[in-house]
Amino acid sequence: HLSGILSSKAERAHSTMMNADMDAVEAENQVELEEKTRLINQVLELQHTLEDLSARVDAVKEENLKLKSENQVLGQYIENLMSASSVFQTTDTKSKRK
């Protein structure tokens, strides 16, 4: 009868240890799952940030090309005005001194 009681206590102790081990494994798995979820969310957030930055770079490139084109037109316009104006005409000072 004593061996049956000891055996029963040993089984309960073993079962308790197994449950504790399983709880520890479950807790560890839960921590790993939470960490993976956090990392996935961080990756997705970084992807959205990259997409936003890429769109901004494309918009800035487009604006830069537009401004370059406008500057060329304005530069040509100013050059034409200067060549048409007598104020900016080059003069030959030697011929005037004679």
What's the predicted TM-score (pTM) here?
0.52
Which among 1, 21, 27 has a CA at the least distance from the CA of 13?
21
- Give, as one character, the DSSP assignment of residue 23: H
pLDDT at 45 over 90: yes
Read off the pLDDT of residues 68-83 as tens digits, 9 standing for 90 and up. Answer: 999 999 999 999 998 8
DSSP-derived 3-state class of residue 18: helix
Alpha helices in the chain, H assignment, sequence order: 2-84, 93-97
Distance CA 60, CA 24 (A): 53
What is residue 19's predicted lDDT score, i.e. its pLDDT?
76
* Torsion (CA) 10, 16, 17, 23 in degrees, nearest 10: 170
Mean pLDDT over all residues of the chain? 84
